[in-house]
Amino acid sequence: MENIETAPSLEKIKNYDAVILIKPSGIQRKTINLILNLCIRRNILPTNYSKIKLTEEDVEELYPEEIDKDFFPGMVEHLTSDYNYAIGFSGNPDDIRKIKTEIIPKWPLGIRGIFANSKNPSENLIRNIAHSPTIEETQNQISTFERFFDKSKDTKETLCSGKKFIFTCGLSESGKSTFCKYLDSKGIQRVKIRKIFELLAKEDNIPIEELDRWVKEREKEDPFVLWENFLEKLVEYSNEIGKDNLVLDTLWGGGLGFFVHMYKGCHLVHIDANREKRVGFQSGRENISTEEADSLLLERDRKKIKSGVEHLFSICDSTITNNSTLEEFQTKIDDYIAKLTK
């Protein structure tokens, strides 16, 4: 029998190799989710974030070489005018360097060029969406970034205190629903991620048929606010039904999985099965031939992969393989429950 693979415990609060600072202009132009997705597609994965108000001293620490420049007072005025987001990322050095060369290079290239002010080009030196120091600069400014991230550390450690929220992910027909249903039978209630978003939308009087549009609009406006609301609602729902342990079915791509993984009490589980096994599941479920099942699965996999779900697999706390019998899969799930609850 194959064992459960458990990832090394990640340092959820301090694990990062690069930082992007999204400025007030970037927040106002609704670029947060765009920047996150551009990074994730390049395997530059978000590991931390904090919403912060900067002081003049903070700006001086971030831009030591610009202090004597004529435009520096304007930079201070802009960066201290409203909230900024500091987002930490992890990745290998070659991928991390793409932040500076492809995503946030000097204006007029990259995202700064896309959102440039064509009517007043001089403003693009200041209100230029985002800032990202080089790998070397990040290391030199590490105490500054630690201070930024410490501002949200308590929330990440206490929001889900006393809870165990298990978020599942995997390719189609890998056994995610079987995993969730089995946990449900063991007292860890199964909850659809969509249900929590439905509860949030209901508070805004959004009809169910408009839920997907509403979520996309909220993610575009400020994904962190939406995802914070999601976790708060999940905690509220957990308290209402009197269940501290829940299994969430199912994560796709995008930033939600990375976001919840930053919070203590949230666990990501990758359910993995080889293609032969998944084709068999698809064939049996739909009562179709192996060839038809393979074709159908190929299309479903394309959609999943396009969503970016494969990037989540590398940060999962556990991977449970499902390539043998149902009984062996259930035995692995029992082992997982024992490790989780001990």
Q: What is the pLDDT of residue 114?
A: 82
Write phi, then psi, for 253 (nearest 5 degrees).
-85, -155
Strands 266-272 and 164-169: parallel
Q: What is the pLDDT of residue 342?
A: 73
What sign results for the dihedral spanned by CA atoms 228, 258, 38, 301? negative
Strands 84-90 and 18-22: antiparallel
The model's pLDDT over 36-65, given as tens digits with 9 standing for 90+, comes to: 999 999 999 999 999 999 999 999 999 998
Mean pLDDT of the chain: 90
Q: Which of 109-113, 153-157, 193-197, 293-297 is predicted with the least confidence, judged by mean pLDDT? A: 109-113
Strands 164-169 and 45-52: unpaired
Residue 6, pLDDT > 50, answer no
Q: What is the pLDDT of residue 142?
A: 82
CA-CA distances (angstroms) from residue 140 to 17, 146, 338? 12, 12, 43
Element (DSSP H or E) covering residue 224: helix 223-241
Q: What is the pLDDT of residue 134?
A: 79
Q: What is the pLDDT of residue 119?
A: 58
pTM score, two decimals?
A: 0.91
In the sheet with 84-90, reading across from the earlier edge strand, the strands are 45-52, 84-90, 18-22, 130-131
Burial of 141 (0-12, 13-18, 19+ CB in 10 A): middle
pLDDT band, very low/low/confident/very high, at 274 (cuts 50, 70, 90): very high
Question: Cα dihedral angle (47, 52, 55, 59), rounded to 10 degrees?
Answer: 30
With H, G, I as helix, E, B as strand and everything else as coil, classify residue 70.
coil
Q: Find out whether 24 and 81 touch, Cβ atoms under 8 Å.
A: yes
* 217-225: average pLDDT: 96
Q: Any residues with CB less than 8 A from the CB of 106 and at least 6 apart, and which? A: 112
Q: Any residues with CB less than 8 A from the CB of 144 and at least 6 apart, and which? A: 58, 61, 62
Residue 76, pLDDT > 80, answer yes
Q: Any residues with CB less than 8 A from the CB of 289 and at least 6 apart, and which? A: 283
More confident site: 97 or 342: 97
Rounded Cα distance, 339 and 333, in Å? 10
Residue with tokens 């949230």: 266
Rounded Cα distance, 114 and 317, in Å? 37
pLDDT band, very low/low/confident/very high, at 120 (cuts 50, 70, 90): low
- Return the half-sphere exposure (C-beta side, CA atoms, 13 A cut-off) of residue 131: 21
% pLDDT > 90, the chain: 76
The model's pLDDT over 316-327, given as tens digits with 9 standing for 90+, comes to: 999 999 999 999
Rounded Cα distance, 230 and 199, in Å? 9
Q: Find out whether 204 and 221 touch, Cβ atoms under 8 Å.
A: no
% pLDDT > 70, the chain: 92
Q: What is the pLDDT of residue 238?
A: 98
Q: What is the pLDDT of residue 302?
A: 93
Rounded Cα distance, 25 and 327, in Å? 55
Element (DSSP H or E) covering residue 203: helix 193-203
